[in-house]
Amino acid sequence: MSFQDRYTLAYKTYPYEKSPDQDLPAPVRHPVVIVGGGPIGMALALDLGLKGVGVLVLDDHEGIGMGSRAVCYAKRPLEILDRLGCAAPMVDKGVVWNIGKVFHKDDQIYEFNLLPEEGHKFPAFINLQQPYFEMDILNRVHELQAGGVPLQVRGKNRVDAVEDKGDHVLVTVMTPDGPYQVEAEYLVACDGANSAVRAMLGMDFTGEVFKDSFLIADVRMKADFPTERWFWFDPPSGSGDSQLLHKQPDDVWRIDFQIGWGADRAEELKEENVRRRVAQMIGEDVEFDLVWSSIYTFQCKRMTEFHRGRVIFAGDAAHQVSPFGARGANSGVQDTDNLAWKLKLILDGTAPAEPLLKSYDAERIHGADENIRNSTRATDFITPKSEVSKIFRDAVLALAAKHDFARPLVNSGRLSVPCTYDGSPLNTPDALKGGPDRTRPGSPCPDVPLDGSYLLERLGDARGARFQILAIDAEVPERFAAHGLECGVIRLSAAGNEMLRERYLGAAKGAVYLIRPDQHVAARWAGWDEAAAAALGRAIGKEG
């Protein structure tokens, strides 16, 4: 099937088949039921499946959906997906970029490098149309299924009712052969911004809808633009109040046009009008094919709680942000990374349910608030809400062209960075004097090149829910186990590896880190400390 077809219709990658569950007299119980077979639901299913958790995905479609939609995937989600075994084909197909440029009218104001330091396996970003992203995850799901992993995906299985029964969730499902029911130890709603599960439970978003509209056009053309993110304020073409240009694979380019709140959406989406805007921007003499178009509105909203009882929310079902900054799918993948290991420990009986689920709320609400804050600031700068705001914005743009001090004030969308869980109840207070701030408790581990590999590959055991002890120029026991968990032990020396020293030791001579299964730092010390057992207990929701 051609890529053009992938834009225009959903194709059957998990076609409906009648399940044996449908003919049984009593509902079958599954450890985890995921509602929604999009990229976030599938990423969670993949992570849980690798951890040995039985998963059932229910989706009301039969395959990958329409349109390119999300296109920018950041380094941290790629690191997560690498641990799950599906990042390599994404990077191979995707357009890699680190550089962004900002323009005001005809003038380039400045450029920035999102990954100025070396020593990372993955780039700052890749651009890749969402159908490819979904297919790479689904291919990995199929690979696990073929290997006997208990991971089921059922297309044309629409969830019509959800009832939390206290010790399980009862799910009513509609299929072409009629309704049936299943039970779930836990149900995770990954069913998008218009989540049916959220509506069934009477839960809603809090936040803001911004009064502006943006037209997306994906066009196929041969062009000399470099593989960079280009953003214009007051573009000289006059085809929108702002414009954003990204290169994608297959000679497809994503263009965003700011068209204003009062725009007639039906009129703007007519092909001749979309083509007119594109031609204004790229030149009347440039040939192009219009592949896909859509209109969106900025929304910055989230649920007040990301779980209620045994029902949990992730991705757009839990939070929404404006597309500028590439925080939607990227934050959704980080939701699943945070949740999967916690569900594994809960289902195994190793960790208490409520503290860990509350920590999911605390940590991922912290991440959502960070995304919403950055998205709101970008929206306010891109679309000033008053004449005074516009005067300030234009003054900043004028100054930024000549003066470095003004450039940090320009906001064309602060791009997605990994979330540090400061204040998490799972953290142990920092005990590494002189340690780098970037690896304080709650931080995601930065990558470092090692001999023939990378640190995150060494910390990347996707099986089970394994904590790791990382010892750098420090003596630690041969093995460490507590609270029913056996931790991996990794010993390294910073001699001759300045990146390891800079990122993990700082001014300290040695360090011992307790690393969570999602590669976030739970605790750190200057040397081996008997408090490690208490720190591990705290990190799984038990009293330290």
Angstrom distance (rounded) from CA 254 to CA 160: 36
- Can you tell me which residue has the tokens 């006997």? 148
Question: 430 in a domain, yes or no?
Answer: no
Same domain, 181 and 47: yes
> What residue spans of 349-497 are helical by DSSP H?
353-382, 387-400, 455-458
Same domain, 164 and 312: yes
Token pair in block for residue 527: 């040397």
Same domain, 456 and 366: no
Domain limits for position 7: 3-94+124-205+300-371
CATH of the domain at 505: 3.40.30
Question: 267 in a domain, yes or no?
Answer: no
Question: 237 in a domain, yes or no?
Answer: no
Per-residue pLDDT of 349-403, as tens digits, reads 999 999 999 999 999 999 999 888 887 777 778 878 788 888 888 899 889 888 9
Token pair in block for residue 6: 């992938």
Same domain, 55 and 153: yes
Contact 140, 86 (CB under 8 A): yes
pLDDT computed for residue 1 by the predictor: 42
Helix (H, G, I), strand (E, B) or coil at 420: coil
Same domain, 456 and 343: no
**DSSP run (H or E) holding 523:** strand 521-525
Question: 214 in a domain, yes or no?
Answer: no
Same domain, 68 and 170: yes
How many domains would you assign to the chain? Answer: 2
Question: 129 in a domain, yes or no?
Answer: yes
Most confident of 320-324, 385-389, 395-399, 502-506: 502-506
Question: 273 in a domain, yes or no?
Answer: no
**Domain final position from 371, 397, 414:** 371
CATH of the domain at 25: 3.50.50.60
**Domain final position from 321, 355, 371:** 371
Distances (CA, A) of 131 to 68, 210, 211, 319, 480: 6, 28, 29, 22, 43
- The model's pTM: 0.93
Token pair in block for residue 234: 């007051």
Same domain, 447 and 529: yes
Buried b (16+ CB within 10 A) or exposed e, 261-294: eebeeeebeeeebbbebbbbbbeeeeebeebbbe
Same domain, 162 and 78: yes
Contact 282, 239 (CB under 8 A): no
Contact 397, 233 (CB under 8 A): yes
Token pair in block for residue 117: 């330091």
**Domain final position from 371, 397, 417:** 371
Per-residue pLDDT of 89-129, as tens digits, reads 999 999 998 888 989 888 898 888 878 889 999 998 899 98
Same domain, 345 and 471: no
Closest CA to 71 of 43, 93, 86: 93
Question: 275 in a domain, yes or no?
Answer: no
Per-residue pLDDT of 396-408, as tens digits, reads 988 988 898 988 8
Q: What is the average pLDDT score of the chain?
A: 90
DSSP bridge partners of 454: 449
Same domain, 60 and 185: yes
Question: 391 in a domain, yes or no?
Answer: no
